[in-house]
Structure 1
Amino acid sequence: MERKDKEPIHTVERGRIQLPIWENQREDGSAWFNVTVKRLFKSGGEWQESQTFGREDLLALSEGVTEAYRWIWEQRNTARKSTKRTA
């Protein structure tokens, strides 16, 4: 389910597959991330979204999940390095 109150901090796209990445803040100011996954398709000339995937979507889905993981990992490492510099 997509959040209506804010925009994703980053979106990974692989063809018809999109993986919006959402940033959340803890009370101590540190961040954690969640990922939603959707497949875009046209029905009756209108773009629609689905959270179901066919065989032909699985490779793009796998690659997208890997890229999202790496992006989140980089954000965590960057945050840790900047915390160490200010400490």
Structure 2
Amino acid sequence: MERNKWKELPTDEEMESERLMWEEIAREEYLAYLHDQWLLQARAVCLACYEVCKIVVEDFGNGPYEYWGAHGNHVDLRDVSDCCGADYWIVENF
């Protein structure tokens, strides 16, 4: 059994591939952030009461759970109208 075996360093191609992967992930997350900011500033009409409303994000998740000894927290974030918590139509954006 060989001890203290050195781990091989990644090649330049592997490093570049990983850098590009993380750059793409960061770009996608930033675009999602910009979309969320645009959405939260939009004016909308609630489909339940047909009143002009704002859009808010609510958590419809079940919360903490345990499954075969594994603990977790179920999160289900949805954008809904602030008046009824229903779906909406976007009518204009500032």
The answer to whether the superposition gives a TM-score over 0.5 is: no
The two structures have a TM-score, normalised by structure 1, of 0.37
Bigger Rg over Cα: 2
Which one has the bigger helix percentage?
Answer: 1
Q: Higher RCO, 1 or 2 (CA under 8 Å, sep at least 6)?
A: 2
